[in-house]
Amino acid sequence: MPANLPPQYHEAEQRYREAKTPQEKLHALKQMYAVMPKHKGTEKLQADIKRRISKLNEEIQQAKKTGVRRHTEYVKPEGAGQVILVGPPNSGKSSLIRALTHGQPDVAPYPFTTKKPFPAMMPYEDIQIQLVDMPPITESYYEGWISNIVRECDFVLLVVGLDDLDPDGNLKAIYAHLADSGILFTGEDVKREDLPDFRTIKKKTMLTLNKVDLGGVAIARELIKPVIGAIPIVEVSCKTGEGIEKLRKLIYQALSVVRVYTKVPGKKPDMSRPYVVPRGTTVIDMAGQIHKDFLHSLKYARVWGHARFDGQAVGKDYVLEDGDIIELHT
C-alpha cells in the first residue's frame, strides 16, 4: 500500500472493516475511493476498490432479488456425524447434497439460491451421516448464526467451483469471517491441547473442488493451495458423478469414528445397527455406553474382527476398530 494516503482514507477503511451490513460496507468503500489521491502510485488500489464496489453492488442487487433474510438458525444433529457445507455462491453446495443424499434442495445457475440450512442424510454403507447445505458466504454477506452452526459441527466441507475461482477473494473472505468468530480450519484431527486459546477452536476441514468436468484442475489446485495450506482437496463433478463415491468415503473417514457391533453370548451378532463411537474408544468406554453397570461388572470381552483371532478374549483397554463385533462378559 502506498504511504501517501490521507488520514480520511484510513478512517474510511476502519469504518469498512467495522461495517455490519453490505450497505454500510458499500458506503465506506465509496468514501475510500473518493478521498484517495488518484495518481500512478495508487492505480492498483483504485482498481481494487472499484472492483470491490461493483461486486458489492451486484451482491446487494442479487440478494434483494432472491430475498435473503436475516434470522437465526440451528440444526439438530442426527446420525453418525454432522457435516456443514460452506462455500461461495454457485459453487455447487446444493448440487453436492443432491448427489450424496436423497435431499432435493434447489439448484440454480445464479448465486444466493440457498437461504437457510438444509439438512439431509447421506447413507454410507450401514450408517447415515448428516450433511447440511448452507447459504453462500461472500465478503459482504455473512450471518452470525453460520458461525454457531460451524462451531458445533463435526466436520466442514468447503466447496468451491472451478468456474468461479477467486481464492484471494471469496475463499479468503470465508476464512476471515470464520476467524472473526474464533474458528480456524485445519486438515488434521483436533486435539484439545492444540487449541490456541479458549475462545478459538479448530475445525477439521476438507476442500471439495467441484465442476472438474470443466477442466483446468491443475491450475485451480495451484491457486487454492496458498490459501488452504495442508487442507486436503478432493476433486468432484456433480454433473458427471466423478469423485462422488470417493468423497462419500472420505467424509466418513474424516469423522474419525468406528462402527462396533454387539453380540450376546451364544447368539448371532446384531449386524443391523452398529454403535458409532470415536476412534480410540476402548472396550470399557463402549461397555459403559451400553449400560453403566458394566463399568463395575465387566471382566473381559471377546472380539471378532481385527483382534488376532476371532472370538479372542481382550481386556478392558482394548481399542476397538471399525467393524469389530464385541461380546461383553461379566
Ligand X SMILES: Nc1nc2c(ncn2[C@@H]2O[C@H](COP(=O)(O)OP(=O)(O)OP(=O)(O)O)[C@@H](O)[C@H]2O)c(=O)[nH]1
Q: For residues 241 and 280, which CB has a smaller minimum distance to ligand X in the complex? A: 241
89 binds ligand X (CB under 6 A): yes
Task: Enumerate residues 127-166 that contact ligand X by CB under 6 A.
Answer: 136
Q: Which of 247, 272, 250 is nearest to 261 (CA)?
A: 272
Report yes or no: 90 and 135 within 8 Å, Cβ to Cβ. Answer: no
92 binds ligand X (CB under 6 A): yes
Quick one: 28 or 238, whose CB is closer to ligand X? 238
Cell numbers describing residue 154: 463435526
Q: Tell me the C-alpha distance between 19 and 159, whole Å.
A: 26
Pick 162 or 325: Cβ nearer ligand X? 162
Q: Tell whether residue 42 is a contact of Mg ion (CB under 5 A).
A: no
Cβ(157)–Cβ(84) below 8 Å: yes
Nearest to 297 by CA among 264, 263, 262, 330: 330
Q: Which of 155, 197, 159 is nearest to 179 (CA)?
A: 197
Sole window of 51-59, 233-241, 255-263, 309-317 interacting with ligand X (rule: CB under 6 A): 233-241
Q: CB of 56 within 8 A of CB of 140?
A: yes
DSSP string, 70-83: ---------BT-EE
- Output 94 or 170, the one with its CB closest to Mg ion: 94
Segment contacting ligand X by CB under 6 A, of 21-29, 86-94, 124-132, 176-184: 86-94
| 141: nearest Cα among 205, 34, 67, 47 | 67
Q: Is 271 in the site for ligand X (CB under 6 A)?
A: no
Smaller CB distance to ligand X: residue 244 or 290? 244
Q: How many CA atoms lie within 13 A of 89 on its CB side?
A: 20
Toward ligand X, which CB reaches closer, 112 or 185?
Answer: 112
Give, as ranges, the residues between 201 and 220 that touch ligand X (CB under 6 A).
210-211, 213-214
From 113, 140, 170, 205, residue interacting with Mg ion (rule: CB under 5 A): 113
Binding residue (CB under 5 A) for Mg ion from 114, 138, 170, 237:
114
Q: Nearer Cβ to Mg ion, position 115 or 151?
A: 115
Q: Which of ligand X, Mg ion, none sits in contact with 90, Cβ below 5 to 8 A by type? A: ligand X
The pairing of strands 325-329 and 300-304 is antiparallel
Residue 274 interacting entry, from Mg ion, ligand X, none, C-beta within 5 to 8 Å by type:
none
114 and 146 Cβ atoms separated by less than 8 Å: no
Residue 93 interacting with ligand X (CB under 6 A): yes
Question: Sheet harboring 257-262: ordered strands across?
Answer: 270-278, 257-262, 325-329, 300-304, 312-314
Residue numbers 108-127 binding ligand X by CB under 6 A: 108-109, 111-114
Binding site for Mg ion (CB under 5 A): 93-94, 113-114
Contact set with ligand X (CB under 6 A): 87, 89-95, 107-109, 111-114, 136, 210-211, 213-214, 237-239
